[in-house]
Structure 1
Amino acid sequence: MEIKWASAAAVRLVLPLILGILLYLYAGQMLPDLRWWVAGLAALYLIGQLWAARQPTPGATDAAGLLAVLTLGVAGAALTQQATESRNANHLYQFGNRVEYYRAVVDDYTVVRPATYATTVRVSAVRVAGRWRPALGGIRVSIPREEGLTAPHYGDVWIVRGTPAPSKAPLNPGEFDYRRYLQYHQVYHQQFIHPDQYLQVATRPPSLLRAAAMRAARVLDGVFRQYVHAKREYALASALVLGIKDEVDQETKQAYANTGTTHIMAVSGLQVGLLFGAVTWLLGRVPGRRGPWFRLVTALLGLGVIWSYAFLTGLSASVLRAAVMFSFLIVGRATSRQISMYNLLAVAAFCLLCYDPYLLCDVGFQLSFLAVLSIVYLQPRIVSWWNPKAQFLNKQRPWQSKPVQKSWQWLGVFLQYVWSATALSLAAQVATFPLGLYYFHQFPLSFLASNLIAVPISSIAVYVGLGLLTLKGVVTLVGVVLPGVARVLDYGPQSVAYVFEMLIRWFNQYIFWIGRVMPGALISGIHVTTLQVWLIGTVLLLLLVFFARKQLTWLALACTLVGVFAGSRVWAAYQLAPTQELIIYSIPRRSVVGFWQGAAAEIVTVDSLPLTETERTYRIVPGSIRRDARRVSYRPGWQACPVPAVVAEPGLTLAAWQNRKLAFVSGPLSAATAPVPGLTAVVLRRNARVQPGQLAAVFGTSAPVVFDSSCKSWYVLRQDSLLRSAGFRTHDVTLQGAFVVSWGR
């Protein structure tokens, strides 16, 4: 696709590295220690390169090149292998449940939730059998928010009592695999810690630089909290400029997700690009801007501004990623060489993946590089379809008045900007479209209308917000020497803050307005498999090659893959249509059962309380999307539910569906209860006070006993051993995940 390999040599380096990382991710358990393999292949490559340099035939060079590709691929797998902490001999996994205490340091931001604080700690030692031993591993911990209990801070060193549990697998069908997400960040355990379980013994930040950066970010957040008075506008201000999203409410997050503008709230390439553009624009107006010294000064200033901003935003991963990308761009320009953007992107990706191979699994990393790559290639081609500036300049005539001629000129300039912004948004969507479907299960058709207005306004807001922080810094410095003058000068930050707040309110109201006037513009509930994502991406790539080369072979290949994709969808629907499933869901403190037939379902909350939006979104909807559900009905209680259910006696409800029978037991069974044979499952609710003998007499022992999520852990522990001793099979949905019974195809 018109990539010149000579000027994009780094592309040939990063592709085998990525393939090696993928090899380990999919087949890492079967691979031996790869360090010696890398050393051997590297030595073999050097020998082969020396031999090829003395050979007159190009085949020798090609052979050496293939050996280099193989070496880089194995190196990618080896880097990932070494970055996987769980392979270490003193990892937490190796100690199982023998850990009595552990020593750990807080190594991440603290997420403030309505009822808890959540953060990650890194273990340095564990006590096993009364003896302290060195250890490593990450634990995702949650601490209740109680009066007088401060939030954890980066660098706090704790002694914690108790054994961390391995991270849970997804508990419900289709649910987000949080365990895998944590493992990609080298966190393999989770623990809920009560205030009396831990003690802070010291403060030793793993990185003093990061600690200072996080402190600086919180100080700047305090400036926004002081000057931006409206709660929603303050939350967006902090998210937009500093990347702190603790106060952004769920309604706002959903509105931005529905309109394809979530990237505005994530401090990343947009903000760093705006800073880079501002520095470039200002330096472009410096007189006498020639010579190598000016290029050097420009590069140093650009790097200084970008990395200062990365520091002030707490050195978050997304900002660091963007800062690395723009740093290579700045350095490339400073060398005054012919720059290939593909090469710069490949070098940035190569360095980041060598630092942390698991970045390849990061959604932000994938979307960022694909979006920039697509913009670099596609935006100029889309812009070339129409030149409104030239078109409207051609409408000027000598006999027209000056105001009319100026009107044509400015109209052309304005439309040129709008068309360029449209081309950029379209180009970014082309490459990120498959991943958007895969990760978010939706596609906002309103992304153009949303971004064309929201991005310019939010960009201005970023500049104004940074101006507010700068002005406040100046006033603070003056206040150290002249407190009285500083009080007068404080009207400056107040005025800028008023403008800042208005800009945020305008673009936020615009986002909500787009959601209201275009409610049908969001296509949601889309499920695509990993294979289908690769098919969609390959089809898009083949179409781009077809438009570049104008050869029908590429179009034929694209059409063939479209047929394969359609066939996979039809086959999945065919497989699903005749299936039935009965699911006892795992939703904390709730009793929920789902009756599925093909793509239709009845979801019944046995406790008669409707599910919250959060419970539906995170627990039920992912499985519905995976099944391509067309009709899902939520029933609070058995009333108006088409599934027949009878209250046989207080504390016992019998339900029948598709020749499957369920018994829901929430209280003691009377001695007169008639036997109920042929059950699919007996579901115990709300710590039902029943004895194994009673259950056996009424239901027999062949049906499994399911503890639903309304049962307390102490109750499950006690009853589980009693029931198993009596010959019952048991299933705890809180620990083992949803109880699923499938039949049909």
Structure 2
Amino acid sequence: MIRWAPYAFVRLTLALAAGILTYLYVGEALPPMLWPLVGLVLIFMALQTWANRQLAPVFTDAAGLLAVLCVYTAGLALTQYATESRAATHFGRLPGTVEFYSAVVDDYVAPRPTTYATTLRISAVRIGGRWHAAEGSVRVTVMRRSAGAAPRYGDVWLVRGAPQPARSPLNPGEFDYRRYLGYHQIFHQQFIGADQYRLLGFQPPSYVKALSLRTARTLDGVFRHYVKSPREYALASALVLGLKDDVDQETKQAYANTGTTHIMAVSGLQVGLLLTVFMWVLTRFFGATRGFRYWSAAVGLVVIWGYAFVTGASASVLRAATMFTFVIMGRAFNRQSNMYNTLAVAAFVLLCYNPYLLADVGFQLSFLAVLSIVYLQPRIAKWVDFKDLAASRLRSWQSQAVQRSWKWAGWVADWVWQAVALSLAAQVATFPLGLYYFHQFPLSFLLSNLVAVPISSLAVVVGVGLLAIKGLVAAIQLVMPAAAFLDWLPRTVAWLFERTIWLFNEYIFWIGRQLPNALITGIHLTPAQTGLLFAVILALLAFLALHRLPWLGVACALLAMFTGSRVWAERQLGKEAQFIVYNVPHRSVCGFWQGSVSQIVTPDSLPLSGAGRAYHIEPGLVEHQMQQVAYQAGWHDTAVPATCATDGLVLTVWHGLRVAFVSGRVEGARQPYPVDVVVLRRNARVRPEELAVLFGHTATVVLDSSCKFWYAAKQTVALQEAGLQVYDVAKSGAFTRKVRD
């Protein structure tokens, strides 16, 4: 039995999270939940008053269960209220087409080679020539202007054109960007040309955040000035300030392959490290002073929130700062004995502020990792006591040097083991989410983190020191211009900082080169399977804690269910054969799936880029657990029979499905070719009547992504008027046709 009394807030947080999770899955079908919540609260108050008078355990227990139900309903109501698309003033609910709208840049502006990406917060829209007050957010991609400054947080724009609803995934298994935006209360997107918007002024929604972002950019300029190597500068800015704009794709992939991507994001690791360093210094020099526990807590709060401010107040660092705020306050008031309640309070407050944080990957990983470390790390560390082992080797007849060597060896081994225990503890709770979200698991995570975390921690401390020293020198130079010679101080620290970053980076790449096969990829888990994995872990932890055999039986049964679901899924997928015309911008790409074997063909004979594969093709292959995948540029050497009937016409027959690929005129075709699917490529110059005569009236005509927008719109109308079935891949997403032999 779980004794809930010491974990009151854990119980309430679980109930709140359950309510939020329920809304995320079935929220659209629910009526307004405010009045049911009010009714339940009134019933609870009456029942609690009665229980206090009667002093009967049955009434007290009933009141407790009703309190949990109230919190569960509050989770539903909070999430419902936080869903902006339900508001009557949301611009997506207003009748008519938006002609213009006024909005403010409400997010960090991400620079790209030819565009900027950011979020606009709408304040007014013009519909039918009249302006209306409105609300809502739009995720925009803005073309870079040939001249002029980049957009910035707080810019007020007048934009021409109507935002479009966020699009669902356009290819099998593709990342659901619409759902991701929805969790951030963004339900529309728009591509804005350089001439579609005008800057009206500057009025940031939060002047504090505007100053924070400006401060982060100023500090980034310090790194850019002193760290000369482009690769080391990019990683330094990501490691200390959380700005990853200049980190190249090769570096990102190397960190992903070794399980150290979390180091590049300013979050709990950096915040906790800075807090630990400052608290160690304070304890070392001022630990015996009066009221140390309280004033050191105040200093700790200033440190973590100051760091959150200078790093741009990103969501991840604010979440970490909030978590450590409750930890600091708990310790200051001598409540550190129950860390679970402290973490539950932090999660409860964050979820009340924004219920959709529950769907945030960073939120899930952060709290699961901390909970697992708090519970498991001490238990794993107890498996081996290297200090005792070293002490057992000490003998009275040994020299002082030998005895000191044994003591130092025991201390070092114990430090390494503590780090190993921490890394293992964090992985136990987070690896199911890693499999679910990222479809991979790095076997080298232990070796990578064992060295990378200490080096990166040193780099963070040195980087913050560089910023502090540069600020001090700059202040002195303002008062004493002749003190320019002091610039050697930040330059010296910057040299050490760059060398540390270089060492850190080289180690990660070295691990990747030495262990090229240590990354397990292509893993796909359903939400149910992920839940089963978590259930297996909890059952095993219960068995280890309680030493009761039934818990091991439960774990085995759950593992059998997990394995059975995997086997059943593979068996079902093994029976499927599909033909797919992918939605890859400006390209012709088709796929032939049979069981776990897949042929990806680009009829234009040009190979796909790595980004095109990773984003548009591979997620579907992972979801369907493809074991053998071949990419072919053109029809030569493919396993799919293909015949070039005329110039610009290719015919294939695959598992009985007849497909014609048309990229030019078909006037040279000498006989009819009855087919099931006709794929028009590269704005093929054909008329509907020609297609009907040559391929039959029952064929589905597919316009692939290589066709221009104007061509697809024109052909769709003409083909529909001719009585043919039409499918526009660029508009509706990938075309799929299941094949039966």
Range into which the TM-score falls when normalised by the shorter chain? over 0.9
Distance 1:447 1:686, change over 3 A: same
Structure-2 separation of matches of 1:384 and 1:636: 57
* 1:275 positional shift: 1.0
Q: Which moved more, 1:239-248 or 1:644-653?
A: 644-653
In structure 1, the residue matched to 2:619 is 622
1:708 is aligned to 704
Quote the Cα distance in structure 2 between the aligned partners of 1:339 and 1:373: 14
Q: CA deviation at 1:146?
A: 4.1
| Structure 2 residue matching 1:404: 3-state secondary structure | helix
Correspondence for 2:640: 643
Query: Of 631, 636, 659, which residue of structure 2 is paired with 1:634?
Result: 631
Q: Which residue of 2 aligns with 1:25?
A: 24
Q: 1:592 aligns with which of 589, 599, 606?
A: 589
Matched position secondary structure for 1:176? coil
The answer to whether the 8 A contact 1:97-1:163 is kept is no
In the TM superposition, what is the alpha-carbon distance from 1:294 to its structure 2 partner?
2.0
Cα pair 1:370 1:432 within 8 Å, conserved = yes
Q: Residue 406 in 1 paired to residue 425 in 2? A: no
Alignment counterpart, residue 448 of structure 1, candidates 442, 446, 449? 446
Counterpart of 1:63? 62
Corresponding residue for residue 196 of structure 2? 197
Provide, for residues 77-127 of structure 1, a one-character-per-residue CA deviation record: whole Å limited to 9, x for no partner: 000000001101121221366111111111111111222111111111110
In the alignment, which residue of structure 2 is the partner of 1:322? Answer: 320
**By how many angstroms is 1:290 displaced?**
5.0
Task: Look up the equivalent residue of 1:552 and give its one-letter code.
Answer: L
Instruction: Report the counterpart of residue 602 of structure 1 in structure 2.
Output: 599
Distance of aligned partners of 1:310 and 1:347 in 2 relative to their CA distance in 1, 3 Å threshold:
same
User: Equivalent residue for 1:582?
Assistant: 579
* 1:497 counterpart residue number: 494
SS of corresponding position for 2:413: helix
Once residues 21 and 605 of structure 1 are traced to their aligned partners in structure 2, the CA distance between those partners, rounded to angstroms, is 44
Equivalent position amino acid for 1:216 in 2: T
Aligned-partner residue type, residue 22 of structure 2: L
Comparing 68-77 with 687-696, greater Cα deviation is found at 687-696
Q: What SS does the aligned partner of 2:173 have? A: coil
User: 1:223-372 counterparts in 2 under 5 A?
Assistant: 223-287=222-286, 289=288, 291=290, 293-337=291-335, 339-372=337-370
2-structure distance, mates of 1:653, 1:146: 42
For each residue in 1:550-590, what CA deviation from the matched residue of structure 2 results, as whole angstroms up to 9, or x when unmatched? 11111101101111111111111111112100000000011
1:442-479: CA deviation from partner (whole Å, max 9, x where unpaired): 00000000000000000000000000000000011011
Pairs aligned (count):
741
CA–CA distance in structure 1, aligned partners of residues 492 and 138 of structure 2 = 45
**1:644 aligned partner, one-letter code:** P
Seen in structure 2, the aligned counterparts of structure 1 residues 729 and 95 have a Cα distance that, compared at 3 Å, is: farther
- Alpha-carbon deviation of 1:518? 0.5
| Pair 1:175-2:171 in alignment | no
**CA spacing shift, 1:65–1:603, aligned 2, 3 Å:** same
Segments of 5+ residues of structure 2 without an aligned counterpart are none
User: Partners of 2:548 and 2:660 in 1: how far apart?
Assistant: 64
Which piece of structure 1 moves more, 688-697 or 245-254?
Answer: 688-697
Query: Structure 1 length as normaliser, TM-score?
Result: 0.98
From 677, 684, 690, the equivalent of 2:686 is 690
Quote how far apart the aligned CAs of 1:147 are.
Answer: 2.6
Unaligned 5+ segments in structure 1 are none
Letter in 2 for 1:622: P
Is the contact between residue 655 and residue 739 of structure 2 (CA under 8 Å) also seen in structure 1?
Answer: no
CA distance 1:540–1:96, shift in 2 (3 Å) = farther
Residue matched to 2:537: 540
Q: CA RMSD in A?
A: 1.2
3-state DSSP of counterpart to 1:634: strand
Secondary structure in 2 aligned to 1:480?
helix
Equivalent residue letter for 1:374: S
Report if aligned partners of 1:139, 1:190 keep a CA contact under 8 Å in 2.
yes
* Matches for 1:128-167 after TM superposition, within 5 Å: 128-167=127-166
CA deviations over 1:363-416 (Å, ceiling 9, x no partner): 000000000000000000000000001110221111111111111000100000
Q: Which secondary structure does the structure 1 equivalent of 2:635 belong to? A: coil
Deviations 1:218-269 (A, max 9, x none): 0000000000010010000000000000000111001000100001000000
Equivalent residue number for residue 722 of structure 1 = 718
1:660 to 640, 657, 667: 657
Do 1:578 and 1:744's aligned partners in 2 also have CA atoms closer than 8 Å? no
Question: 1:417-449: CA deviations, max 9, x gaps?
Answer: 000000000000000011000000000000000
TM-superposition CA deviations, 1:617-648 (whole Å, max 9, x none) = 11111111111111000000011112111111
**CA distance in 2 between partners of 1:640 and 1:480 (Å):** 71
Letter in 2 for 1:691: R
Residue 6 of structure 1 and its aligned partner are, at CA, apart by: 2.9
Contact persistence 2:169–2:178 (CA under 8 A): yes
SS of equivalent to 2:117: strand
User: Any conservation in 2 of the 1:723–1:729 contact (CA below 8 Å)?
Assistant: yes
Q: Is the 8 A contact 2:323 2:346 kept in 1?
A: yes
- Listed as ranges, the matches of 1:10-89 within 5 Å are 10-89=9-88
How far did 1:541 drift? Answer: 0.4
How far apart are residue 509 of structure 1 and its match?
0.6
Aligned with 2:512: secondary structure? helix
How far apart, in 2, do the equivalents of 1:250 and 1:147 lie? 26
Match in the other structure for 1:419: 417
Q: Does 1:513 align with 2:510?
A: yes
The offset of 1:288, in angstroms, is 6.1
SS at 2:5's partner residue? coil
Secondary structure of the corresponding residue to residue 618 of structure 2 = helix
- Report the TM-score when normalising by structure 2: 0.99
| Distance change >3 Å, CA 606–CA 423, structure 1 → 2 | same
Identity level (%)? 58
SS in 1 for 2:517: helix
- Following TM superposition, by how much is the alpha carbon of 1:680 offset from its aligned partner in structure 2, in angstroms? 2.0
Whole-Å separation in 2 of the counterparts to 1:414 and 1:534 = 38
Higher alpha-carbon deviation: 464-473 or 107-116 = 107-116
Alignment correspondent of 2:106 = 107
> After the TM superposition, which segments of 4 or more aligned residues of structure 1 sit over 6 Å from their partners?
none
Equivalent pair of 1:525/1:628 in contact (CA under 8 Å): yes
Q: Indicate whether 1:220 and 2:219 are aligned.
A: yes
Partner of 1:92 in structure 2?
Answer: 91
**SS of 2:414's equivalent?**
helix
Q: Distance in 2 between matches of 1:287 and 1:353?
A: 37
Q: Which amino acid letter does the alignment assign opposite residue 206 of structure 2? A: S
SS of alignment partner, residue 284 of structure 1: helix
The SS at the match of 2:54 is coil
- SS of alignment partner, residue 705 of structure 1: strand
* Contact persistence 2:656–2:739 (CA under 8 A): no
What SS does the aligned partner of 1:478 have?
A: helix
Counterpart-to-counterpart distance in 2, 1:671 and 1:233: 59
8 Å contact from structure 1 (residues 608, 637) kept in 2: yes
Of residues 206-215 and 36-45 in structure 1, the stretch that sits farther from structure 2 once superposed is 36-45
CA distance in structure 1 between the aligned counterparts of 2:349 and 2:607, rounded to whole angstroms: 50
Check conservation: 2:144, 2:194, Cα contact below 8 A.
Answer: no
